[in-house]
Structure 1
Amino acid sequence: MLLRALVILLGEGAEEKALQLNGTDIGGWNALVKVEPEEEEEDEEAVRYESSLANEILNDRRFWFGVAVRGYDTSLTADEVESALINLFSSCGAITHVYVSTRDKKTNIYFHQKEGEAGALDLSGSEVGGFEIAVTRVATIFTNCPPPSGGICYGYSVPAHMIEFAREIHDKVAAFKKQSSSI
């Protein structure tokens, strides 16, 4: 039987003292002591870059007022869904962004003004292509305030558009790290 343990030792000389125990007989088995390599510290410049990208997207006015739409024909392509929903919701006001999530079977629609969001909520129960849609408010920076720094807040979720752009932020940060390491 092979037993493993990860022990974190702190203090001056702890690493050297631990390594001296390598090969020591401990109740019929020999201790194998290895030092794990230190985890790479986050590149501070990359962290600042990622934070600035996230803040830019979080505070983007295009995503201040939005709704989530479910219940439409999910066999349609994303382009067909987007077109049908834009036709319906354009009567509510200027649409700033549409995100069709085929995985979650929902579409987020964002409006230029709060009145657009209110009008869109009134369309819940409407029929689109023979299907009855459900319209709910989507998490935005106004409807979903983050908890205070270090605080616990129940019912908070990341604003929907941040989830949409998470992969893009990740890819941009990875490219930034690659570019800065080759300089």
Structure 2
Amino acid sequence: MDESAINGIQSLELNGSDAAIPESRRFRCARICVEGYDTLLPRDDVDTALRKHFASCGEIAHVSIRRNAGSDLSKSTYLNRYAMIYIVGEDAEEKALALSGSDVGGWTVLVDSASPYPKDMSDDELAVIRAEDRYEGMCGARIVVRGYDDLLDADELMSTLRKHFASCGEVAHITLETDEFTATLCRYCYMYIVGDGAEDKAVALSGTDVGGWTVVTWSDPIPKVLTADELAAQRAKERYEASRSLIGVRGHDTSLPEDDIKRAMTDHFALCGDISDVYVFESYAVVIVMGEGAKEKALALNGSELGGRTLVVKSAYNPNPDKRPRISSFPSS
């Protein structure tokens, strides 16, 4: 990005008064929320498909597709399940909502309005939206920043961040949003930095002091365009991980040592799929099976014999998934 473009981006972030802007220079902008796409698809493919599909609704000023935050934003590799689209034009929201349930090249799009839009926007406000559309697609470092007090003034925080990360390169843009329910700043923001080694330099500043608070940073690169083989491998991995099932087993000889029970359970259910783990409790065991059809194959062993004893095999669930799998009571049906 050349210097003139960076200066132009920075100038767009200056908030001026709308009072002197004539009515002819104000625009109606709708923000809609869409979902239904495969979150393993490359971001650019989803972006292009959405722009084409909603082109009839008005000018597509910005399509925001972020990676799935989950429990740890720094480790996520998939797209978020929903995207935000900013559309400029009369009745843009109504036209977009009418497309909910329509087909987008093999998948069905679901559309909902995203408050507090639609709203009237000035030239400058709309320019910022359009500029952010360019930021998300440009090459460079995208850094996640957190650690600040969410009660800080937004302008003051952005100014502080620009100064603190000035040594990393040109801070082209900072995306800092406000929680619409609490009216406080969101707990993290995005910085787009252009320059050699910008990513490494910004990440290296994690843990440093920023005027009384400690900044935490990590890189959040825009997902690369995957090859067909890479995409197929990721989809296979996701399906495999989603196949994880907990199987409750009782009827075995509970007087045996725990290791012997684990080995016996592993051998008995081996043909059902991959045995991720076996947990042994006082009156029952929990076998974790993985793989296509693994759960159904395991449940089919209900009534089978192990060591001369008849097993009761039932589907189980873990009431506390953050801890060692343990069912509160053995399923009766």
TM-score by length of structure 1 reads: 0.47
Structure with bigger helix share is 1
Higher relative contact order (CA 8 A, sep 6+): 1
